[in-house]
Structure 1
Amino acid sequence: MQRVNVSIQLKKMVLAIIGSMIIMILLAVIIVGIGSKSGSIINSKGIINKFNLNNNNIVLKNVKGETNIKVFLTEQDKVVDMSLEDYVRGVVSGEMPAEFDIEALKAQAVAARTYALSHMEKLGGSTCTISKDKGADICDTVHCQVYKTKEGRFNDWPKKNAEEYWAKITEAVKQTAGEVITYDGSIIKSPYYFSMSSGRTENAADVFSMDVPYLKSVDSSQDKSLKDFQTIKKYTYNELANIINSKYPKAGVTSKKLSSQMIIKETTSGGGSVKKIALGSIVITGPQYREMLNLKSSNFTFKFNSKDVEIITKGYGHDVGMSQYGAGAMAKGGSNYKQILTHYYQGVKIEKIDDIK
């Protein structure tokens, strides 16, 4: 009888060990994921976490130490290693008018933080091409995001408003600390934004020739009521023909035939920006035409008058992602920063990772 009991107990122990091993294996598969993708995200304490992602299963491993980003200051030709949150504050001050409602500033802070993280080399991000040779992650110009120091920003603002503006931006960054934009469980790599839309944003596929699921054309009609929504440049027929032929000698346009030689051939499916335009014997892109005349956007039309040509432009910028002035108008109308971000970036979430070991 005792031998039978010992045998039963041994069998139970073996089964228990096997069961534990199976559970451990299953947990490892569930947590780590098979064929997982790598990425990164930040928690509210400013600690970067690396994670593996597969079917939305995320495992986080804290990177020890304070989270810093290396910024190349172009005018000073030097690299500064600074706190990520200090960098975000400098970007918000450089990219968006401080007069805007705080909800718009908060939207800008989250977008700026997301963009910064996707360019940090230590997290596997793609560093800025201008900064790479300098050993930095990102530069302080429009090539990446405009970053301003507190001193530089105070020099630009009216003295009576400087302290108020800086405190407001600091609060916007503080209230969104650790928040990023994610899509399908991963931090997005292209949180693009621009100044002012033409009334509707553009699909990234039309402008950048890359189909990004969260960068789709959306309504931004509030921009139409903004100051400087529409700008007009006037040229005599001779002036415009000379500019075109100087830039593109093969165009062969003439002042007398310009109205029939300068023709918009194709526009985008979203906001209606010019994709292709015929100039005499050649065809160029809308952005190339915009660059030639230093227009505010590629959303333009022509009006041929008796003595001159009017080039009428709507909006300001590439028109993909978040319209900053549109965000300002939405905030003024009562929208919060999450509503603003999820409007301009389709299908995304605003996520904050806290205390995950």
Structure 2
Amino acid sequence: MKKFTAIVLLLVSILLFILFIPREREHAVVAECSSNYSKVYLGDKLYKIRLPRTYSVGTVINYKYNFFKILKVDEVSPLTERVMIKNNDYYELEKSGPVKLSKSPFYYYLDKNNKLSICTDSKLIVGQNNSKIYMDKKNALKTLIITPIDFSYMRIGISTNNFDSIYHNQLEITCMEDSKLYNIQEGSSINISKGSKIAIEKAANEIIFSFGSQKKPFKSRTYLKGGDFKIDSLKRGNPSFVPYYSGIIEFTLCKDGILMINEVNIEDYLCKVVPSEMPSSGGIESLKCQAIAARTYAISDMLQNRFANLGFYVDDSTQSQVYNNIETNTLASNSVRETSGLIMTSNNTPIDAKYYSSSGGMATTYEDVWFNSDGTSEDKKYYFNGSYIQGETNIPQSEQDWLDFYKNKGLKAVDSESPYFRWYIYFPKESLEKSLNKSLKIIFGKRKDFIEILQNNKKIDTLPELKDLTNISVLQRSKFGNIMCISFKFSNATVNVKGDINIRSAIRCTKEFSGEIIPIVRHKKEPLINNNLIPSSFFAIDKVNGGFKIYGGGYGHGVGMSQFGAMELSKKGMKYNEILDKFYKNIKIEKIY
């Protein structure tokens, strides 16, 4: 009996312990709150609890409780600084610097209607003032509450001369207005007078800023804010000029050099993109198309976190869209102002607004240009694809049909007045062998998955010195004419290359690669001399005595808006919305700010 009583007492003690012992929950996020019951997220699960008072949606709390009630609630204070760089295991905060991520961070989105939902880190955009950051007890970043994005400004990575690199070894800047040089992490601020010149150089573990007789070293992200800044060490355009930048210039020390980022109002950014991407000769309506496409493209890149590990949204080269490579002009600036805030959307989301110089009479699909090495691709169905040729012209079927098509200069299309509508290149066999030996090694080193090397019909893992080019053949061509896979047959190996940019960069026309300058003969205007890439992957090959003749059409990837086509339609009196409907389908033009 005594033993039984002891067991009962033990069980009662355990039960009382379970019922009354305080437990703790960390980083509960309030999703709904009322005087009766509230809903909170703990990680990715939603729970219903009774809180002692009401809290705003999105509040983060730690609380102690037992079986019967909430015993204590502590509201957690957030960090409200910007995330400047995202990496897999840490984020760099604007003031606190690098902070490690928890092993299981959680992200929540608080929308404009005050509704909280679980999201992923893709919602977190660097350089935005729209997040509250909560650290756990180990000082790791555990919880983030993200609010809607501010689309009114851009962060652009500024390249060196010729857009060779985004890393600078040294810079020279003239402040055109009174300015301020400051560093948030190191708590330093220096006034710089109008007309002052600043020399900036990379040292071992710091950036040294020299102005007048002063030298100031900084180890962390440093900002220059004022009016306009002239970057004296940069040259842009042809004829060349020294570019000016407005807004804020940021300087960050990286292993490879100084990373320079320009944070600027998006409309000011576009005023320097539109003239760099499209000449004004097409008229205001085509420039409006360019402004809307460029604005959409920039915001799409921002949302994709494409350069989040570097801290900017777009770069200033053709890798994104060209910025500040041609000086601004009134017509281009007017096109930006008259379309302020307008972007193209599909299913209420900004589209990836691809555009290119001119077509060869056909528009192709996204998945036939941007695909993975296994052939998979994203599903982007908002681009027009098909023929731009006037009249009832059937799409070519055979390689001979495509060769005849690209030889035909008499076809009329939306952009047939473009000098690039038809072009050809003649390569002596020896010159093309030299070019391919150099270019294929580069592609193999950078994008090995897109190259297949065969010897005696067996795959090999190394690229030999290629000898005696005997043939070039198309292994895969899209329905609309761009080559997706090409084969170069040599006496000692066969090399198959996949992908638009890989195919275009395989055949190079420069003296550096070919041993001689190979002109690209356009059907209008003078030949292109010493051009690095062939104009497009829309081409066919004609083997001739002593070499190969490549007949092609268009300039660029062939997806989205043909800029030359937009210019021609603008000259014919079409409005920007009508023109955009020619190149994109099932899209809406919406104002986002």
| Same fold (TM > 0.5) | yes
Q: Which has the higher contact order (CA 8 A, sep 6+)?
A: 1
The letter of the residue matching 1:264 is V
Matched with 1:71 is 156
1:262 aligns with 2:472: yes
Conserved in 1, the CA contact under 8 Å of 2:358 and 2:420? no
Matched with 2:323 is 147
Structure 2's unaligned 5+ residue stretches are: 1-112, 124-128, 131-146, 161-170, 172-258, 372-376, 389-412, 441-462, 508-532
CA deviation vs aligned residue, 1:131-153 (integer Å, no higher than 9, x gap): x45422221111111111xxx63
**CA–CA distance in structure 1, aligned partners of residues 539 and 318 of structure 2:** 22
Q: TM-score, normalised by structure 2?
A: 0.43
Conserved in 2, the CA contact under 8 Å of 1:233 and 1:310? yes
Q: Secondary structure at the match of 1:153?
A: coil
Structure 1 residue 291: deviation in Å?
0.5
CA deviation vs aligned residue, 1:244-301 (integer Å, no higher than 9, x gap): 345555595525xx2xx3111221112x011112222232226323202221111111
Q: Secondary structure at the match of 2:423?
A: strand
Q: Per the alignment, do residues 142 and 305 of structure 1 end up closer, same or farther by CA in structure 2, a change over 3 Å counting?
A: same
Structure ranking higher in helix proportion: 1
Residue in structure 2 matching 1:226, options 418, 425, 433: 418
Q: Secondary structure at the match of 2:549?
A: strand
**CA–CA distance in structure 1, aligned partners of residues 537 and 465 of structure 2:** 20
Q: Per the alignment, do residues 246 and 142 of structure 1 end up closer, same or farther by CA in structure 2, a change over 3 Å counting?
A: closer
CA deviation vs aligned residue, 1:102-130 (integer Å, no higher than 9, x gap): 1110011011111222233xxxx23343x
Structure 1 residue 327: deviation in Å?
0.9
Structure 1 residue 332: deviation in Å?
1.4
Structure 1 residue 307: deviation in Å?
3.1
Matched with 1:352 is 591
Greater CA drift, 91-100 or 277-286? 277-286
**CA–CA distance in structure 2, aligned partners of residues 119 and 238 of structure 1:** 42
The letter of the residue matching 1:153 is I
Matched with 1:343 is 582
The letter of the residue matching 2:468 is T
**CA–CA distance in structure 2, aligned partners of residues 317 and 299 of structure 1:** 9
Matched with 1:284 is 497
Conserved in 2, the CA contact under 8 Å of 1:251 and 1:282? no
**CA–CA distance in structure 1, aligned partners of residues 546 and 568 of structure 2:** 38
Q: TM-score, normalised by structure 1?
A: 0.70
Conserved in 1, the CA contact under 8 Å of 2:273 and 2:322? yes
Structure 1 residue 208: deviation in Å?
0.8
Matched with 2:368 is 206
Residue in structure 2 matching 1:197, options 342, 351, 359: 359
**CA–CA distance in structure 2, aligned partners of residues 36 and 91 of structure 1:** 36
1:126 aligns with 2:294: no
Conserved in 1, the CA contact under 8 Å of 2:358 and 2:562? yes
The letter of the residue matching 2:370 is F
**CA–CA distance in structure 1, aligned partners of residues 432 and 148 of structure 2:** 58
1:295 aligns with 2:534: yes
Greater CA drift, 79-88 or 345-354? 345-354
Conserved in 2, the CA contact under 8 Å of 1:128 and 1:144? no
Q: Secondary structure at the match of 1:88?
A: helix
Structure ranking higher in strand proportion: 2
Residue in structure 2 matching 1:171, options 326, 334, 344: 334
Conserved in 1, the CA contact under 8 Å of 2:474 and 2:486? yes
**CA–CA distance in structure 2, aligned partners of residues 63 and 310 of structure 1:** 51
CA deviation vs aligned residue, 1:44-69 (integer Å, no higher than 9, x gap): xxxx99xxxxxxxxxxx8778x9322
Structure 1 residue 308: deviation in Å?
3.1
**What CA RMSD, in Å, does the superposition of the two structures yield over aligned residues?**
3.1
**CA–CA distance in structure 2, aligned partners of residues 186 and 289 of structure 1:** 32
The letter of the residue matching 1:204 is Y
Structure 1 residue 78: deviation in Å?
1.7
Structure 1 residue 93: deviation in Å?
1.4
**CA–CA distance in structure 2, aligned partners of residues 299 and 63 of structure 1:** 39
The letter of the residue matching 1:215 is Y
**CA–CA distance in structure 2, aligned partners of residues 253 and 216 of structure 1:** 42
Q: Per the alignment, do residues 282 and 215 of structure 1 end up closer, same or farther by CA in structure 2, a change over 3 Å counting?
A: same
Structure 1 residue 335: deviation in Å?
1.6
Structure 1 residue 84: deviation in Å?
0.9
**CA–CA distance in structure 2, aligned partners of residues 37 and 215 of structure 1:** 28
Percent of aligned pairs sharing the same letter: 27
Greater CA drift, 167-176 or 31-40? 31-40
| Pairing of 1:78-97 with structure 2 (within 5 A) | 78-97=260-279
**CA–CA distance in structure 1, aligned partners of residues 380 and 575 of structure 2:** 24
Conserved in 1, the CA contact under 8 Å of 2:472 and 2:541? no
The letter of the residue matching 2:367 is A
**CA–CA distance in structure 1, aligned partners of residues 571 and 386 of structure 2:** 19
Q: Per the alignment, do residues 34 and 69 of structure 1 end up closer, same or farther by CA in structure 2, a change over 3 Å counting?
A: closer
Q: Per the alignment, do residues 316 and 235 of structure 1 end up closer, same or farther by CA in structure 2, a change over 3 Å counting?
A: same
